[in-house]
Amino acid sequence: YVKKFQPEEMRGDGAGRGYERMGDVCGDLGEVVDVLWRSGTPSLQIPYLFNIALAVSTYLPSFPAAPGATFGLLRKMDHALASLLVGKDVGTGEALPGLEEEGSGMSRTDMVRCKSIVEQTRVVVVEVMGREGEVEDEGGLAAETEDDMTDGGDAQMDWDEDEDESALHDMDVAKVYENTIVRLDEALNRGTAYDVGASG
């Protein structure tokens, strides 16, 4: 990332080269999210997911838009954060490890910070996806950011091949962190951080 902004003669070759594509950023961060999700340790998952979310909003403006990879990673993040908020997998309804009794894995302070991060990310995504200019040729990178996690139970729509791709991206922009925001609003409006899991 740093070397992307260095003069060409200072970049050098080999392993020290920084990111040059948002698709590569999303691929690497997606792998970290997968490891965190499998760890089953909310005390580690929550702060690291917050850091990843902040990294995404920092990286996004620095590269050409990569809609497929970006929205794939954000759906994965949305699933993880929303699940930790309610203490159960929002796709399957199963209780998360370590949260069978507690309900939500987030304190009220965590929730307030999470709300700030996701709102900031939504603003950045709108700006990046709406600007005119180069769009990254993603190839197969977008698919690499997807895994077996659902997006919170929403049914996926089948689109005709000639469907306007920009319309699909507009829908994705509107749904950035959708599940997380809904559950954050429910928890914060209720005023109790630890009974959010009971809302179903």
In three-state form (DSSP H/G/I as H, E/B as E, the rest C), the secondary structure along the chain is CCHHHCCHHHHCCHHHCCCCCHHHHHHHHHHHHHHHHHHCCHHHHHHHHHHHHHHHHHHHHHCCECHHHHHHHHHHHHHHHHHHHHCECCCCCCECCCCCCCCCCCCHHHHHHHHHHHHHHHHHHHHHHHCCCCECCCCCHHHHCCCCCCCCCCCCCCCCCCCCHHHHHHHHHHCCCHHHHHHHHHHHHHCCCCCHHHHC
**Cα(187)–Cα(181) distance, integer angstroms:** 10
Find the distance separating the first CA and the last CA of the chain, reported in whole Å.
41
* pLDDT score at 137: 63
For every one of its 200 residues, what pLDDT tens digit does the chain have, with 9 covering 90 and above? 444 544 455 455 555 567 888 999 999 999 999 999 999 999 999 999 999 999 999 999 989 889 999 999 999 999 999 999 999 999 999 999 888 777 788 999 999 999 999 999 999 999 998 877 667 765 654 444 444 444 444 433 343 443 455 555 567 788 999 999 999 998 888 754 444 444 33
* pLDDT score at 98: 80
* pLDDT score at 159: 36
Report domain extents, the chain: 22-152+164-195
* pTM of the full structure: 0.74
Contact 32, 50 (CB under 8 A): no
Matching residue, tokens 């203490």:
87
